[in-house]
Structures are given as structure tokens and as C-alpha cells.
Amino acid sequence: PTMPYLAAVRAANTATLASFPPSFTPTALFLGGTSGIGKAMALSFSQKTKGNSKIIIVGRNRSSAESTIASFPQPQREELRGKEEVRHEFVECDATLMENVHKTTKELLGRLKKLNYLVLSPGFLTIKGRHETTEGIDKKLALNYYARWTFIHDLLPLLLKTKQSGEDVSVITILAAGTGGQVDWEDLGLKKGYGLVAAAKTAVTYTDYMLE
């Protein structure tokens, strides 16, 4: 895939916003929503829904998440104020470890009644080389690909259930779409040919395959 022109993106956004917010009270989860693009999207979502939505920010930085949540508008619909349907919350999860991701998704599946929007933007900046986690995965690949795949895979039953109820469902992963490279089938974990460029391109390519 290739990146669309900015004009096409703006036209698509305008068309989408014309019918937004939806008539139902949506639930949205933002993995990586404590900073950067994820934080900006969570804030924008709260504003576009005028506080009439349930928002879950998942990440590592509690103070940042709580500061963001404090800036969300309160529900404008009187009958929703104080209700679970419009609760804004932080769920702590170090998504560099898939053990933590599975634990978090299991907890969410056990209590969420629905999930309309799953937004994935975890990541971190580093110029160092391969940083292997205790699970044997490079930290950048863990956040840029494996955590995203695992969140989608684990929460898919809830997403499908929500879709089948007649409500809108979308999954958004934000990571340099269209900039991937070739896959080294003999070194999928980049244990031999690791480099910052290779790690970036590989995560994008893996994500393209995963979404297909």
C-alpha cells in the first residue's frame, strides 16, 4: 500500500465527521494514548463525542494519562453523567511484554460489554541497537508489531460482538503505512540483521501482512 495524498485524507476525514458522533454511546481504547499521536487522538475523540463516550487509555505513564483524562469534557447528556457508559479510565500495561498484554486483554474482556474503536500507537524512540526483552523479542518490534497484533487478536471476539449488535467498529494502527520492506524469512525476529531502519521497515511490513 502507499500513503494517500493529504487532500484525499482531509476529504475522507470531512466525510467521516459529517456523521460523527454516532447515535450510540461509543467505547474506545487507545493503546499508547499517554503521549504523541495516541494522546492527541484520545483528546480529539473526547471532544468530538462531547464527553458522551467511554474512553480507556492503556500505557505505562499514569500521571500523563490522568492529566489527559482530566482535560476531557464531561458528558453533556445529563442522563449519562456518572454512568459506566461514559467512564474515562487508565489501564496500566507495559506492552513490551506479551505476558502483560494478555493479562490486560483478559481483564478487559472480562468486564467490557462492547468495544467500538481500537486505536494502536505504542512505541518509543531510541538510537540503540537490539534491546531484547525477557521474552526474546526486540523492544521496538514488541511495541510496533507484536503488541498491536496481540491486542487485536485477543480483543477480536469483543469487536465482532459489537459489530454484530449493529454498532460501528474500527481498528486503527498508526505506524508509517506504506514504508515497509522485504521480509527475511530466515530471520523473522531480526536477531541477525538488526538495525534501526530494518526494525522500522520490518514492523510496518509485518503489520501490512497482519491486517491483510
Nearest to 32 by CA among 24, 40, 22: 40
Give the rounded percent of residues in the chain with a pLDDT score beyond 90: 52
Residues in the chain: 212
- What domains does the chain contain, in order, with CATH numbers? 22-210 (3.40.50.720)
Round to whole Å and give the CA distance between 140 and 145. Answer: 8
- Residue-wise pLDDT tens digits, 43-76: 999 999 988 999 999 999 999 999 999 999 888 7
Q: For residue 107, name the pLDDT band (cuts at 50, 70, 90).
A: very high
The chain-wide mean pLDDT, for the chain, equals 88
Round to whole Å and give the CA distance between 30 and 41. Answer: 8
Nearest to 193 by CA among 152, 124, 141, 154: 141
Task: Please check whether residue 131 is in contact with residue 139, taking contact to mean a CB–CB distance below 8 angstroms.
Answer: yes
- Residue-wise pLDDT tens digits, 135-172: 999 898 899 999 999 999 999 999 999 999 999 999 99
- Residue-wise pLDDT tens digits, 166-189: 999 999 999 887 788 788 888 788
Strand 27-31 relative to strand 54-59, pairing: parallel
Q: Which grid coordinates belong to 53? A: 463516550
